[in-house]
Structure formats: structure tokens, C-alpha cells
Amino acid sequence: MSAVWNWLKKEAVLAIAALCALVSALFVPPSPAYVDYLDLRVLCLLFCLMVVVAGFRSLGVFSVLAQRLLGGRRRLRVLVLLLVFLPFFFSMFITNDVALIAFVPFALLTLGLAGSRRYLLRVVVLQTIAANLGSMLTPFGNPQNLYLYSYYQMRIGDFFGALGLYTLASLVLLALCCLFFPNKTLELSFSQKASISSPLDVWLFLALFLVCLVSVLRLVHYLIPLALVVLVCLLRAPKLLKEADYSLLLTFVCFFVFSGNMGNIPAVQDFFSRCMDFSPVGTAILSSQIISNVPSAVLLSRFTSDGASLLIGTNLGGLGTLIASLASLISFRFYAAEKDARPAAYLGVFTLYNLAFLLLLALPALLCA
């Protein structure tokens, strides 16, 4: 029983998604139509991006870049700015959760070496917000973007047009927050210099990454990057195939089934259709606070043709509660594992900052919707 309980705590979202799918199946019995619920393109591309980014991480690419940017004599304010902007910009290409996995531990190490652990809580909170907001600029920045971009067959110009100003405003707000840190001088040196383990493999995975991006833009079929990624991994690094977040992929499958079934229940369809007609942005934001923004995107897409508003709502909806974006749990776990961590204080500061960002960014979106 303890093993089951530990699994449930670790994979709470997957367990909830599976339960939702099972309950919905009571109202819409399983049939061959279930296959039509699944967006295989999204699942395959998400898998490819996970594996390719895991390849970059295993080769030491992120560690080398971070050390070169952060090493030497620096002002604390500049150091914080770099620590926050790294996940902001990298999340646009490697997804918000991977950006946090790569750079939150590095912030823990860097601030520890600089003797500035007292600022750790605020920096990790800002890194989390930065990853969640930076990732909204690109179709491959986070799972909900990849899904909605595919589901609504969006043009890349329309996608950038919907989220560009919000991303720019987010960048300005994050920069302003960093200015409130002291401007004292720090000296940073790393005892163990990071290095690239195989330059050839870096170029190989970069090529795979570009193929994935071309497929996201619908210029090549999604099975091409899937075949290439699996083939390269089998030949060069089979263990990378284990690095994909299969629980997230299975969570998507469960929510595809759940949302598909909900769309076939007249009463539920009428309720969500009314909510989305009234305020697609507001509905997406509120829904994200309860079930997080990825399942909200899958569920609500069945009830509106306004893809741009749903895109804005689910991305801004990642702000707010700790579960509004599942990537936020990654940062919390890293911070809570520190010996001098203050989890309660973290949750308080996290909620305060997130609500402030949500209010400043969502109010214009709601007024313009």
C-alpha cells in the first residue's frame, strides 16, 4: 500500500486524469471512436522534443552555457537577472519544465557559492514565473501550446500575434522585479568546470531539434522526426529513450479521452459552450487554477473555435496556484529539498508574485476579449 500511495503522490495528475477518463467512460461507453480523440501528432512531437532536450542535457550543453554566462565578478542584481532570464528564454525552445529542471538546481548552486542563499526563495519563484511566461511565445514552448497550435491549425504569424505582447510585458515585469535585489558585487568561481562530452553528438541532436521544429510548423510529417529520433537514440544513446516523461504523455492520452467524452455529453457541452462564449480567456484562467493549464487546453478546446483566446487564457492561467502550471511543482520540489528550505514561506511568496503577475497581465486580456 505504501508503494501505491507514494506513486499516487508522485503522479497525482496522471491518477486524476485516469480517474476522469474512467468516469467519463461510464457516460460514453468505449468504442472505436475513442481513437479519434487522440492527437497522435502532438504526442509524437512532444515525445521527440523531450528526448532531444534530454540529449542536450546529458551532453552538458546547459551546464556549459550557464557557467560561461554566470562565472566571474558580477553584481548580485545582474546575477539574478541572468538566473531569471535563462529559463525565460530557454523555455521558448526546450519547454518550461525542462528549463526549470536545468536552471533551478544551477541557481541553488550559484547563489550558494556566492554566499547569497537568503535570496534563493525569491529567485526560484521568479525563475518559475519566467519559465511559465517565456514558454508561451513559441508553439513548442510548453505542451498546451503544442496542442492548441496543432488542434486549431494555427498560422505561425497568428500565434506570435496572440502572445507576443504578453511575452514582452512579462519580460519587462520580470526585469523590474530583479531591480529590487541589492547591487553588491560578487565573485563566482566553479570548482568543477562543465564541458561538452561529445561535440559531434551536440550537432547531431541540434539537427534533430531543427527537424522537430520544422515538423511543428507542419512542413514535414510528424513521423519523420519520430523515426529519426528513435533511430539516432538506438544507435548513439539508447538510455535517452527512458528520459521522456511518459507519465505526461499518458496524462495527455487520458485527458484526450476525458475531453472527447465530455464533448459528447449534451449537458456538459452546453455548460462549457456557454462559459466559453461568455469569456474564453476568463474560463481558461479559472479552469487552469483547478486542473492546471494543460488539461484545461485539451478540455476547453472542444467547446470553442476561438483558439487565440484559449491560447492566451491557458498560458496566463499558468500563473496563480501552485498547480496552475505543473512545471511550478518542479521548482517547489527542488527548493523544498534544500536543508534550509522554508516551504510555507515559499508558497506564500509564490502565490503573492503569481497573483500580482496574473492581475497585471490578465486584466488587459479580459478587457480586450
Task: Provide DSSP, 144-166.
Answer: HHHHHHHHTT--HHHHHHHHHHH
Helix (H) or strand (E) holding 12: helix 12-27
Instruction: Supply the pLDDT for residue 197.
Output: 83
Is the confidence at residue 122, as pLDDT, over 80?
yes
**C-alpha dist (Å) from residue 299 to 22, 84, 108, 147, 317:** 15, 31, 36, 11, 14
pLDDT of residue 85: 95
314: pLDDT strictly greater than 90: yes
| Per-residue pLDDT reduced to its tens digit, 154-184 | 999 999 999 999 999 999 999 999 999 988 8
How far is 258 from 152, CA to CA, in rounded Å?
19
pLDDT score of 6 more than 90: no
Round the average pLDDT of the chain to a whole number and report it.
Answer: 86
Q: How far apart are CA 255 and CA 14, in angstroms?
A: 9
Interacting residues of 51 by C-beta distance below 8 A, sequence separation 6+: 229, 233, 240, 241, 243, 244
Taking only the tens place, the pLDDT of each residue in 265-296 is: 888 778 888 888 888 999 999 988 887 888 88
Q: Would you say the pTM of this structure is higher than 0.85?
A: no
Task: State the pLDDT at residue 87.
Answer: 93
Count of CB atoms situated within 10 Å of the CB of 266: 8
pLDDT tens per residue, range 44-76: 888 888 888 888 888 888 778 777 767 777 788
In degrees and rounded to multiples of 5, residue 317 shows phi and psi of -65, -15
pLDDT at 198: 87
124, three cell numbers: 526560484
Nearest to 98 by CA among 140, 50, 133: 50
**In the 8-state DSSP scheme, what is residue 139?**
T
Q: Report the C-alpha gap between 230 and 152 in whole angstroms.
A: 28
Q: How far apart are CA 280 and CA 300, in angstroms?
A: 9
Higher-scoring residue by pLDDT: 199, 17: 199
pLDDT surpassing 80 at residue 146: yes
pLDDT at 105 over 90: no
What does the buried/exposed string (b/e) look like for 300-337 if buried means 16 or more CB atoms within 10 Å of the residue's CB?
bbbbbebbbbbbbbbbbbbbbbbbbbbbbbbbbebbee
Predicted local confidence at residue 369, as pLDDT: 59
Dump pLDDT digits (tens) for 25-50: 888 888 888 888 787 887 888 888 88
Q: What does the pLDDT read at residue 310?
A: 94
